[in-house]
Structure 1
Amino acid sequence: MSLRVTVGRLSNSLVSHPNLLIRYASSEPTDEQGGFTRSIYSKPMYKYVVRDGKSVKIYTGLVTKSSRPAVKFRELLQKAWSTETLTVDSLRSLLLSRMKERNRRRQIVSDKDVDKLGLDIAIAHMVCSLGGRVQLIGHTSWIQPYAGVPPILPNKYVEGFVIESIDLSGTNIVYEGLEFLPCLTHLRYLKMKRCIHLDDFCLSRIGRIKGLQFLDVSECPTITSKGLATLAHSKALRRLIVSGNPQIEDKELVCLLLEDHLPKLYIDGVDYIGQLPDKSKEKILRLVSRNEKFTQTQNEETNVDKLYLIDKA
């Protein structure tokens, strides 16, 4: 309610004071020589050209960009005003889009950081800045922020800093933040439970992690069966958790095909016989209990490495 009142007062003030309105969005050319529409707070861009052997400064018709917060706020108001009216919905959508763009940019690991810190340390900085945690080879403790305070991470390359496990559960991880994960040659454990922005495109990038053995994508609302199918490239995958994903259609069929393609994979969170009649369930359970050799073989294949099959939560 307070936001609606504030926006209403701002709209009334802009309408009742024409000069103030012109400051935010000028509708007339402010420069007769330039002849273009721009805000009076923006400085015109000039260009020097040679005419008759003399250097002459001319107007380019463009305006310079400024990174000052006040200028950014005025640009935001101009965009909101140009989308019909300065309403609560238009302002909210603009703020939401800016938040998404800011979240996307903070997850980009630049080549400069990789050259300076090394790939593992650069990714550790990015993961911890999102509220996630990492675990190194040969360590049982996690590197993670506490009470909003970031952990102490190296500011230069350190030999032996090798990431083995990453937990991004509940973070705002997006596609750009997963760019370099396939380059982590020792990454075995990846937990991404309850990541609301994790989609099929993200799973396609995760499927390129060659050594990944444990993956948890439970309670991710935007994942579909197409994303699960991209995990068929993860030849080393041993355990997959997919419970609580409402957008996955024909989950049992897709998981069955995935397990058939990857014989050593065990998928948790799928009830293959839950929809069958009671008599059919009894026949299947009786058949499995009699075949002890088959059960023993499956246990040997699915428990290759207990370290990565067990959830480290």
Structure 2
Amino acid sequence: MMLLGKFIQPVLSLKKLSTPGAHRHFWGWLNAVFNKVDYERIQAVGPDRAASEWLLRCGALVRFQGYDKWQHDYNGLPTGPLGKYKIQAIDATESCIMYRGFDYLDGLKHVEEIKLSNCIYIQDECLQRISETESLQKSLLRLMIISCGNVTDKGIIALHKLTNLEYLFLSDLPGIREKETTVQILKKSMPSLELELDLE
């Protein structure tokens, strides 16, 4: 982390980064770096550990199966036998997770709950990727999508592939323009789904 600090300090002092646009571009670049998938790491430590590191690096929280406490400190991730800690819940509130990192979700077989709130990089492709992830199709029971401005009807409709989903909460999603149609499609394809909306 020391190395990262040494790298960032001189870059931020550049005159070009004094403009708001350049500053945003820099953080966008850094967030993209945090989301780059390290497939060798997944092979070395397993999908749950690698995904935990990705999520915490991007500012999200994870909760492991059998534990009540949320993990929020990257350096505080528990150590132990590989495969011991399985992700059961993800809270990505105000995190920088983005589509390019979603390969980390492959192989997570115990995730029951995901909360996406105020995630500026979450878009329809991310929801499609969640719905097409075979392990999540089986395990995911609860999904909350709140204040994600890039999500549209297309992304919400894609969730119909999550056949075991029991609860879906949608709130403050200005990109949803055909609310009634979208809700009807979900209810038809997922009749047992409890759908809670706050989209006014």
**Shift of residue 188, structure 1, vs aligned partner:** 1.1
Q: What letter matches 1:230 in structure 2?
A: A
Q: Take 2:24 and 2:146, find their aligned partners in 1: how far apart are those partners?
A: 26
- Secondary structure of the 1:226 match is helix
Residue number in structure 1 paired with 2:89:
165
In the alignment, which of 23, 26, 29 is matched to residue 101 of structure 1? Answer: 29
Are 2:162 and 1:238 aligned?
no
In the alignment, which of 16, 39, 60 is matched to residue 111 of structure 1? Answer: 39
CA contact (8 A) 2:90 2:114 kept: yes
In the alignment, which of 101, 111, 123 is matched to residue 199 of structure 1? Answer: 123
Residue number in structure 1 paired with 2:191:
263
**Shift of residue 175, structure 1, vs aligned partner:** 0.8
Are 2:27 and 1:124 aligned?
no
Q: Take 2:7 and 2:98, find their aligned partners in 1: how far apart are those partners?
A: 26
CA contact (8 A) 2:48 2:83 kept: no
Larger Rg: 1
Q: Taking every aligned residue pair, what percent have the same amino acid on both sides?
A: 24
Indicate the structure whose relative CO is greater, using CA pairs within 8 Å and at least 6 residues apart. 2
TM-score after normalising by structure 2:
0.82
Q: How many pairs are equivalent?
A: 188
Equivalent residue runs for 1:245-260 within 5 Å: 245-260=173-188
Equivalent residue runs for 1:1-313 within 5 Å: 91-145=19-73, 150-154=74-78, 158-208=82-132, 209-210=136-137, 211-269=139-197
- Secondary structure of the 1:128 match is helix
- Secondary structure of the 1:192 match is strand
Structure 2: gaps of 5 or more residues: 1-5
- Secondary structure of the 1:179 match is helix
Structure 1: gaps of 5 or more residues: 1-67, 81-86, 275-313
CA contact (8 A) 1:130 1:172 kept: yes
Q: Take 1:97 and 1:245, find their aligned partners in 2: how far apart are those partners?
A: 25
**Shift of residue 174, structure 1, vs aligned partner:** 1.0
Q: CA RMSD in A?
A: 2.6
C-alpha distance after superposition, 1:257-299 (max 9, x if no partner)? 111111111111158xx9xxxxxxxxxxxxxxxxxxxxxxxxx
CA contact (8 A) 2:49 2:83 kept: no
CA contact (8 A) 1:175 1:201 kept: yes
Residue number in structure 2 paired with 1:311:
none
**Shift of residue 240, structure 1, vs aligned partner:** 0.8
Q: Take 1:69 and 1:192, find their aligned partners in 2: how far apart are those partners?
A: 31
